[in-house]
Chain A
Amino acid sequence: MYILQVIILGLCLGFVYALMATGLTLIFGVMRIVNLAHPIFIICGAYVAYWLFKFYGLDPIFAIPIAAIVCGLLGAIIYKLVFEKDAGSQRYSEMTVLLTFGTAMILDGTLSFFFKNTQRITSPPYATDAIFIGDIFLPTAQLYSGLLSLSLIVALALFLKFSTLGVAIRATSLNRVNAELVGINVKFVCLFSFILGCALAGCAGSLVSFVFSFFPAKHWEWIAVLMSLVVLGGMGSILGAVVAAVVLSVVASLVGAFFAPSWSTMVFFLALFLILLIRPHGMFGKYLS
Chain B
Amino acid sequence: MKDSKYLVPIMLFIVLLLFPMIQYFTNQNYIIHLLLYAFFYIILTSSWNIIGGYGGFISLGHNAFLCIGAYVAGYCAVRYGISPFYLIGVSGLVAGIFGFIVGLITLRVRGPSFIISSIALVMIMRIIFDHWDLVGGASGITLPYNSLPVEWSKIPHYYSFLFLAIAAIYLNWYVRHSKFGLALRAVSHDETRSAVAGIDVKLIKVTAFALSTFLIGSAGAVWADYLTYIRPNMFLIILIAANIVLMVILGGKGTVSGPIVGTVIFILFNEIILSFFGATELNILLTGLLLVITLLYFPDGIVGSLKNKGIIPKFLDWG
A residues near B (Cβ < 8 Å) are 28, 34, 82, 85-86, 93-95, 97-99, 101-110, 112-113, 116-117, 216, 220-221, 223-224, 227-228, 230-231, 235, 260, 262-263, 265-266, 268-270, 272-273, 276-277, 280
Q: Does A224 contact B291, Cβ atoms closer than 8 Å?
A: no
Is B224 an interface residue, CB under 8 A from the partner? Answer: no
Is B193 an interface residue, CB under 8 A from the partner? Answer: no
* Binary contact track B74-117/A, C-beta < 8 Å → 1, others 0: 00000000000000000000000000000001101101110111
Q: Does B119 contact A105, Cβ atoms closer than 8 Å?
A: no
Q: Does A94 contact B58, Cβ atoms closer than 8 Å?
A: yes
Q: Does A102 contact B291, Cβ atoms closer than 8 Å?
A: yes
Residues of B with C-beta under 8 A to A28: 112
Chain B 159-196 residues near chain A, CB threshold 8 A: none
Contact of B117 among A93, A106, A273 (CB under 8 A): A273
Q: Give B178 Cβ to nearest chain A Cβ, in Å.
A: 24
Q: A82-B292, A110-B285 are in contact. Are A98 and B113 (CB under 8 A)?
A: no
Q: Give A101 Cβ to nearest chain B Cβ, in Å.
A: 7
Q: Kindly specify which of B11-19, B275-283, B306-314 makes contact with the partner chain.
A: B275-283
Is B123 an interface residue, CB under 8 A from the partner? Answer: yes
Residues of A with C-beta under 8 A to B123: 221, 224, 265, 269
Contact of B283 among A101, A109, A216, A273 (CB under 8 A): A109
* Binary contact track B266-306/A, C-beta < 8 Å → 1, others 0: 00000000000000111111111111100110010000000
Q: Does A235 contact B112, Cβ atoms closer than 8 Å?
A: yes
A-B pairs, top 10 by smallest CB distance, nearest first, are: A109-B285, A105-B288, A109-B284, A102-B291, A106-B288, A102-B292, A34-B112, A112-B281, A227-B116, A224-B123
Residues of A with C-beta under 8 A to B285: 105-106, 108-110, 113
Residues of A with C-beta under 8 A to B249: 98
Contact of A235 among B113, B282, B291, B295 (CB under 8 A): B113
Residues of B with C-beta under 8 A to A104: 288
Q: A98-B249, A113-B282, A276-B106 are in contact. Are A266 and B119 (CB under 8 A)?
A: no
Q: Does A113 contact B117, Cβ atoms closer than 8 Å?
A: no
Contact of B242 among A94, A95, A105 (CB under 8 A): A105
Contact of A231 among B113, B238, B283, B296 (CB under 8 A): B113
Residues of A with C-beta under 8 A to B283: 109
B239 closest partner in A (C-beta): A105
Give the residue among B122, B123, B245, B280 with the most A Cβ atoms within 10 A.
B123
Give the residue among B105, B242, B288, B299 with the most A Cβ atoms within 10 A.
B288
Is B8 an interface residue, CB under 8 A from the partner? Answer: no
Give the residue among B130, B283, B284, B289 with the most A Cβ atoms within 10 A.
B284
Q: Does A99 contact B296, Cβ atoms closer than 8 Å?
A: yes
Residues of A with C-beta under 8 A to B112: 28, 34, 93-94, 97, 235
Residues of B with C-beta under 8 A to A112: 281, 284
Q: A223-B119, A276-B113 are in contact. Are A269 and B288 (CB under 8 A)?
A: no
Contact of A85 among B124, B245, B296 (CB under 8 A): B296
Q: A223-B119, A263-B131 are in contact. Are A109 and B286 (CB under 8 A)?
A: yes
Q: Does A93 contact B284, Cβ atoms closer than 8 Å?
A: no
Q: Does B113 contact A220, Cβ atoms closer than 8 Å?
A: no
Instruction: For the A-B complex with A216-B281, A277-B108 known, give 4 more contacts whose Cβ atoms are closer than 8 Å.
Output: A102-B291, A113-B282, A263-B127, A273-B120
User: Bound state CA distance, A116 and B124, in angstroms?
Assistant: 26
User: Bound state CA distance, A45 and B58, in angstroms?
Assistant: 30
Q: Give B139 Cβ to nearest chain A Cβ, in Å.
A: 15
Q: Does B127 contact A109, Cβ atoms closer than 8 Å?
A: no
Q: Does A269 contact B124, Cβ atoms closer than 8 Å?
A: yes
Is B260 an interface residue, CB under 8 A from the partner? Answer: no
Q: Does B116 contact A105, Cβ atoms closer than 8 Å?
A: no
Q: Does A98 contact B105, Cβ atoms closer than 8 Å?
A: no
Q: Does B295 contact A98, Cβ atoms closer than 8 Å?
A: yes
User: Bound state CA distance, A86 and B117, in angstroms?
Assistant: 25
Is B60 an interface residue, CB under 8 A from the partner? Answer: yes
User: Bound state CA distance, A231 and B120, in angstroms?
Assistant: 11
Q: Does A109 contact B115, Cβ atoms closer than 8 Å?
A: no
B285 closest partner in A (C-beta): A109
User: Bound state CA distance, A28 and B113, in angstroms?
Assistant: 12
Q: A112-B281, A224-B120 are in contact. Are A276 and B299 (CB under 8 A)?
A: no
Q: Give A259 Cβ to nearest chain B Cβ, in Å.
A: 11
User: Bound state CA distance, A109 and B296, in angstroms?
Assistant: 20
Q: Give A96 Cβ to nearest chain B Cβ, in Å.
A: 9
Give the residue among B58, B115, B130, B131 with the most A Cβ atoms within 10 A.
B115
User: Bound state CA distance, A119 and B116, in angstroms?
Assistant: 26
Residues of B with C-beta under 8 A to A223: 119
Q: Give B247 Cβ to nearest chain A Cβ, in Å.
A: 13
Contact of B115 among A34, A85, A263, A277 (CB under 8 A): A34
Q: Does A227 contact B120, Cβ atoms closer than 8 Å?
A: yes
In the complex, 24 of the A-B residue pairs with CB atoms within 8 angstroms, ordered by the A residue number, are A34-B112, A94-B111, A97-B111, A98-B249, A99-B296, A102-B290, A105-B287, A105-B291, A108-B285, A109-B282, A224-B120, A227-B119, A231-B116, A262-B131, A266-B124, A269-B121, A269-B124, A269-B127, A270-B124, A272-B120, A273-B106, A276-B109, A277-B105, A280-B108
